[in-house]
Amino acid sequence: MADFDVSAARADTPGVAHGIYLNNASCSLMPRAVVDAVQDHFALAARIGGYPAASKEAPAQEAVYGSVARLIGAGPQDIALVESHTRAWQSVFYGLAFSEGDRILTSRAEYGANYVSFLQMRKRTGCVIEVIPDNNEGAIDCQALEKMIDDRIALIAINWIPTNGGLINPAAEIGAVAKRHGIPYLLDACQAVGQMPVDVERIGCDYLTAAGRKWLRGPKGTGFLYVRRERLADTEPAMIDDVGAAWHAAHAYELRDDARRFESHEHEPALRLGLGAAADYALALGLDTIRSRVRELAEGLREALVAMPGITVHDLGSERAGLVTFAHESVDAGAIVTALERQNICVKAVPREGALLDTVARNLPVLVRISPHYYNSEQDLEHVLTALRESL
Amino acid sequence: MIDLEAVRADTPGVAHCVHLNNAGAGLMPRAVIDVVKDHIDLEARIGGYEAKAQENERIEEVYASVARLIGADKSEIALVENATVAWQHAFFSQDLKEGDRILTAEAEYAANYIAYLQMRNRTGCVIDVIPSDASGATDCEALEEMIDDRVKLIAITWIPTNGGLVNPAAEIGRIARRHGIPYLLDACQAVGQMPVDVAALGCDFLSATGRKFLRGPRGTGFLYARAEMLKNTEPYMLDMFGAEWIKPEVYQMRPDARRFETWESALALHLGLGAAADYALDVGLDAIKTRAFPLADSLRRELAALPGISVHDIGADKCAIVTFSHEGVPAEVIAGALREKNINVSVSGPTSTLLDARARSLPDLVRASPHYYNNEDELKTFLEALRNITRS
């Protein structure tokens, strides 16, 4: 892409000086603006105390809600800031009331953490977990979904982009089905936010969860939750404290009237400010621009990998995200990751249980996952391909 | 004996403010600040998971440090993002049914009480408040009389947020043990200002924060879960860290207390928590208590001698939290005026401990909480400022 200024993006990223980082689907390298936002607030808290620092920077903290909201086309009052994607997802999921026989519809490539929660809920309530079939491209089959709908469906909960490959599920089409039938729709956007435009209105999801540390390039220990206003009235968080609700009368509490009812009392403002800086940074670059660049890098990488002897690329779907996964016929993923690591190239081996149903269905081995971001250079990819050719 | 000059030299914040809000968030010692800052920088340089791998041993050490602090085994410790989350994870994992009784204290913290109310709405359990004795502490004889086979949990705050009261946690523990009732102790205001020994306390769960008297970073907390309790306690929420997804239909919980954790966390903050625990252990918890408690006592005496001031602390043995009000100047005004002089205190409103506040008809209270690193000059500065504020 001619108009993307990769050298500017790299100049903003201290980490690129230390190696070739291609693990953005796990945890990206923070841009300097994020690092500074975290460090500056933390230093202020060390100097004048945690709460005085927080009140001094209250407007900046409040602005984080606006930044995150802009990132996904929501309003600031629809956003809860929490400590991780999992916390965001769990505080919604475990707050929903399931009864015996209620059906949860999910995807085959569902993330392990979510699926463990489904299993726990099934054990606790007797609800039923059902997997929506895939279409012939490997994405969720929306026609099949439509046929599964009946009045026992309590939730549709899916991964937009699974952890184990480039697949992008048709989140908006699913949203249209959910909306038509009035079924709550919880979208795990952990791998989507930061690598492409996200618009909750277009998607039609009721809840959307994401992490700060992945494609958004925020600090670890940050995540957020979006809750559609119309759903707020009938969604009580799984665990409430005195931020989520006010204790006015001895025997009653009153829930907050915005999405912050899902937050917990105490947090580290430095990390939140880092999350806000990450959202602002992504918005300034433009999510469309980011998506084009990521797509171009990932597709180029896939093409080159496919051409390499002994390598099979395992990414599904017609339109693919920045997660590139592959395996070699004889060298296992762990050995490949270690060999690359020795050359200061960081990629990731995706464990089979990350998306166990999909692993079993497709009989997948442990996969090598390379996840380039916009700040990665063409040379980064040449290096990793050269290193792969040499080590295999 | 504490070397006051040394601990003050270790605390950059004392050059910038008179910090008497250690019950809110203590000033971090340099050892804590540095470890957090360094780890964030490391993450920016080499990536979040790569930094985790590099610092793995030190991260493991944090569990041991926290365990040492409270006389536990490191397998009994879960590190989480705050005390509320630690407490909630213990509380909501209790399998309470209709008619089951929760016994709690009069000065129970709002966040906890809201969770009782939520649990009551969800299960039909009953919340019963243990009366206080003449000194204002939880009355253990009354507690003993309340016990029947429907009592399924004793959950109390050791040191309430709104004053110097220290509840008889160990005596309550003996009663809980005698009757085989799970005992959840909120030690949020205790850890870091005095010795804590879970064996002597006889508690099954203990929750605490990093940021208060322990002087760790905000956004840190921990849960202790007694090894025997783990055998039959399943967290209310599980992810792929708390449990392994071993077969498509089966998850297996971790054997240790980390089943209460989630996959993602801010490791920089965890390391800061570990440094704070190490620092407190180095200074010595006995020495800390021996300095902080009398410092608070002398403050109470001075305050009681000021015209128009009422000190509201109850209990026979009082800790380093001092609360007072003035007959004419509201607490918010006092705290705001002190803040302008770089003196940090906080305001404790009735809704943070609603039952106690109503029983004692408490107004908003000014809370001054000195720590061992505060010196006598700082208390004089505070008292002088207070005189001026309340004189006009």
Domain boundary assignment for chain A: 6-22+286-391, 34-284
CB contact under 8 A, A264 and B84: yes
Tell me which architecture the domain covering A34-284 has in CATH. 3-Layer(aba) Sandwich (3.40)
**Which chain B residues are Cβ-neighbours of A211 within 8 angstroms?**
264
pLDDT-based confidence at A249, cuts 50/70/90? confident
* CB-CB under 8 Å, A48 with B16: yes
Task: Tell me which of B218, B341, B344 to substitute to probe the interface with A (most A C-beta atoms closer than 10 Å).
Answer: B218
The gap from C-alpha A89 to its chain's centroid, in whole angstroms, comes to 10
DSSP string, B350-386: GGGGHHHHHHTT---EEEEB--TT--HHHHHHHHHHH
Cβ proximity of B25 and B213 under 8 Å = no
Q: Which tens digits make up the pLDDT trace of B310-358?
A: 999 999 989 999 999 999 999 999 999 999 999 999 999 999 999 999 9
The strand order across the sheet containing A207-211 reads A79-82, A223-227, A207-211, A185-188, A153-159, A103-107, A128-132
CB contact under 8 A, B111 and A242: yes
Phi, psi for residue B209 in degrees, rounded to 5: -110, 160
What pLDDT, on the 0 to 100 scale, is given for residue B1?
Answer: 87
pLDDT of B392 > 80? The answer is no
CA distance B178 to chain A (A): 30
Range B167-171, long-range pairs (CB < 8 A, 24+ positions): B167/B105, B167/B107, B167/B137, B167/B138, B167/B315, B168/B137, B168/B138, B168/B140, B169/B201, B169/B203, B170/B200, B170/B201, B170/B202, B171/B140
pLDDT in tens, B2-55: 999 999 999 999 999 999 999 999 999 999 999 999 999 999 999 999 999 999
- Contact predicate A5/A284, CB 8 Å: no
Q: Is the pLDDT of residue A22 over 60?
A: yes
Distance from the first to the final alpha carbon of chain B: 40
Q: Output the pLDDT for position A2.
A: 53
Q: What is the secondary structure of A296-313 as a DSSP string?
A: HHHHHHHHHHHTSTTEEE
Q: Map out the domains of chain B with their CATH numbers.
A: 4-20+284-391 (3.90.1150.10), 31-282 (3.40.640.10)
Residue B136 has pLDDT above 70, yes or no: yes
Per-residue pLDDT tens for A122-131?
999 999 999 9
Number of A/B CB contacts below 8 angstroms equals 244
Compute the C-alpha angle B339/B341/B344, nearest 5°. 40
- Average model confidence (pLDDT) across chain B: 97
Other C-beta atoms lying within 10 Å of the C-beta of residue A143? 11
Q: Which amino acid is at B332?
A: E
Instruction: Identify the pLDDT of residue A250.
Output: 84
Read off the pLDDT band of B73 (50, 70, 90): very high
Q: pLDDT tens, B231-251?
A: 989 999 999 999 999 999 999
d(CA A61, CA A77): 14
In whole angstroms, give the CA distance from residue B27 to residue B44.
25
The pLDDT of residue A1 is above 60: no
Least confident interval from B4-8, B151-155, B358-362, B388-392? B388-392
Question: Residue A49 and residue B27: Cβ atoms within 8 Å?
Answer: yes
What pLDDT shows up at residue A234? 83
Instruction: Kindly report the CATH number that applies to the domain delimited by A6-22+286-391.
Output: 3.90.1150.10
CB contact under 8 A, B81 and A220: no
pLDDT at B201: 98
Contact B211/A87, CB-based, under 8 Å?
Answer: no
What is this structure's pTM? 0.97
Nearest CB to B47 within list A15, A49, A87? A15
Answer yes or no: do A357 and B236 touch at CB < 8 A: no
What percentage of chain A reaches a pLDDT higher than 90?
Answer: 96
pLDDT at B170 over 60: yes
Q: Chain B contacts of A242, Cβ < 8 Å? A: 110-111, 114, 351-352
Name the minimum distance, in Å, from the CA of A124 to any CA of chain B.
10
Shortest Cα distance, chain A CAs vs residue B244, angstroms = 8
Contact A52 B17 (CB under 8 A): yes
With a cut of 90, say whether residue A356 has pLDDT above it: yes
Contacts of B36 in chain A (CB under 8 A): 42
This complex has an ipTM of 0.95
Give how far A295 is from chain B: nearest CA, Å: 22
Say yes or no to pLDDT of A329 above 80: yes
Q: What's the pLDDT score for residue A301? A: 98
Chain B nearest CA to A23, separation (Å): 8
